[in-house]
Amino acid sequence: MLEKLLKEYSKRGKFNDYLGEIDVEKKDIEKIIPQNLLRKDFEFIEVSEIEVIRHFIRLSNLNYHLDKGIYPLGSCTMKHNPKVNEEVSSYEGFIFLHPLQKEEDIQGALKLMYELIYFLKEISGMDYVSLQPPAGASGELTSMLVIKKYFMDKKEDRKIVLIPDSAHGTNPASVTMAGFICQTIKSNSEGMVDLDDLKKNLSEQVACLMITNPNTLGIFEKNIKIIIEELHRYGALVYLDGANLNAYCGIHRPGDVGVDIMHFNLHKTFSTPHGGGGPGAGPVGAKSFLVPYLPNPKIEKEGERYYFKYDKESIGKTASFYGNFNVFIKAYTYLRMNGIKGLKKMSQIAVLNANYLRKRLEEIGFSCEYKTSTLHEFVLTLKDFKRKDIRALDIAKRLLDYDCHAPTIYFPLIVPEAFMIEPTETEPKEELDRFISVMKKIKEEIEENPNLVKEAPHNTPVKRLDEGKAGRELVVKWD
């Protein structure tokens, strides 16, 4: 065992000296609380303060996290989350709010949401934004339900949703959950939507296209306008997966090229902890004709007063209350600190960092499956190393030995032995250079001593976990 459970450090009578003697009257619990409500098997954990601190420090040391080093997990935008976000979101005025408080008592919170909506509208070119969905995937599902309701009201029977073969797995999952049928669209040799295949699959049965731009290869769909025109010609809509917004803030607005509805990942683009670090937020922005269908309630303003607005066309709620409010505070803080100029620079540096990394890795012999230029991320193919019986998984594991978080592997599915790298704008050049030298070292190891890589990791608290067994014999409960 790497670290015992806190419970296992517990011992009757352990306490912290500085707490002093109990100075209130002791009462017999058996006399105050009815027998049937008393738990007999329950034991309070008794440990001293230093034990608690050491326990959690030891745990955090076993973990690899963004505060330790580079975290180039493609498609996840693992940027540094400024610590001031945490401070602002712990202000008393926020943490003592209750979601059932009346409108007039929570004007400050409503103002924050209203302004956050305003910023997201400005950034995306959409007409209104619902903050409610608690994650990107939830934003996708919300959008699919909105589209479904829209066509139901128009009495149009459209069952098909088109999805490029490079899409994230949550896309077809959301489509299926909403009761639509997925139709895959092929990518062309440049790694973009194949226009001929798109046209072949277009019909009056199509409800929408779900497109990610830049797509999951990091490639900007240069035909985006043509693609959207084609869909609109058939009366179909265009949904944008906004997971990659970090590539174009302040540079390009999806609303301006005709996107009808999209989601944002506040936890990615606007710096709130995610991936085990906290909950997310996946707001949905829409053009005016879809706005009534967005989740209720909406936040509106009349004079100086903020209020909740309910539309009867709405699909209803997609999260309890108003969504993950704490995430809104952090994203809002980040947006206010950066301003539109700062956001543009953020995206420019994110693209620059990724291109620097791609170029340098290509120079030392790594290559991309698609040669097209990329924005904030890129996908290597490690298929060449198969001749040494080395797979993307092995190289990912070996990176851990060198204190680097591994990139995303085996996604997108159209790249064999995919290795998807997104450094983000917050990684200093020195850390990018360290990553490059580690990749170079691993490449040499593969030639000289492939077993070292095959058997990696060697320096981590746990070695290779049996992921297959975990999938086959899923246990999600602690006994």
Angle among Cα 313, 315, 320 to the nearest 5 degrees reads 130
- Name the minimum Å distance from CB 17 to ligand PLP: 46
**472 contacts which partner out of ligand PLP, another protein, none, CB within 5 to 8 A by kind?**
another protein
Residue 203, both tokens: 């019909």
Residue 296, both tokens: 């209720």
What CA–CA distance (Å, rounded) separates 219 from 205? Answer: 28
Residue 64, both tokens: 């690899």
- Name the minimum Å distance from CB 175 to another protein: 15
* 471, 475, 476, 477: which one binds another protein (CB under 8 A): 471
Q: What is the 3-state secondary structure (H, E, C) of 97-146?
A: CCCCCCHHHCHHHHHHHHHHHHHHHHHHCCCEEECCCCCHHHHHHHHHHH
- Name the minimum Å distance from CB 216 to another protein: 14
What CA–CA distance (Å, rounded) separates 193 from 220? Answer: 10
Strand 367-368 to strand 305-309: parallel, antiparallel, or no bridges (unpaired)? unpaired
- 409 near another protein (CB under 8 A): yes
Give 359: exposed, middle or buried? Use CB within 10 Å, 0-12, 13-18, 19+: exposed
* 202, 217, 243, 299: which one binds ligand PLP (CB under 6 A): 243
CA-CA-CA-CA torsion sign (10, 12, 17, 22): positive
- 241 near ligand PLP (CB under 6 A): yes
- 181 near another protein (CB under 8 A): no
Instruction: Determine the interface stretch with another protein among 190-198, 322-330, 453-461, 468-476 (rule: CB under 8 A).
Output: 468-476
Closer Cβ to ligand PLP, 239 or 385, answer by number: 239
Backbone angles phi, psi at 317, to 5 degrees: -100, 150
**393 contacts which partner out of ligand PLP, another protein, none, CB within 5 to 8 A by kind?**
another protein
Closer Cβ to another protein, 29 or 474, answer by number: 474
- 247 near ligand PLP (CB under 6 A): no
Give 171: exposed, middle or buried? Use CB within 10 Å, 0-12, 13-18, 19+: buried
Q: Which of residues 412-441 bind another protein (CB under 8 A)?
A: 413
Task: Tell me if 259 sits within 8 A of 245, measured CB to CB.
Answer: no
* 64, 94, 307, 410: which one binds another protein (CB under 8 A): 410
- To the nearest 10 degrees (0 to 180), the angle between helices 325-363 and 107-124 is 30
**243 contacts which partner out of another protein, ligand PLP, none, CB within 5 to 8 A by kind?**
ligand PLP
Residues 367-396 as x/- pattern, contact with another protein by CB under 8 A: ------------------------x-x---
**170 contacts which partner out of ligand PLP, another protein, none, CB within 5 to 8 A by kind?**
ligand PLP
- Name the minimum Å distance from CB 305 to ligand PLP: 33
- Name the minimum Å distance from CB 149 to ligand PLP: 22
- Name the minimum Å distance from CB 326 to ligand PLP: 16
What CA–CA distance (Å, rounded) separates 209 from 149? Answer: 16
Residues lying near ligand PLP in the complex (CB under 6 A):
75-76, 135-137, 168, 170, 212, 216, 241, 243, 265, 280, 282
Residues lying near another protein in the complex (CB under 8 A):
391, 393, 409-411, 413, 467-468, 471-472
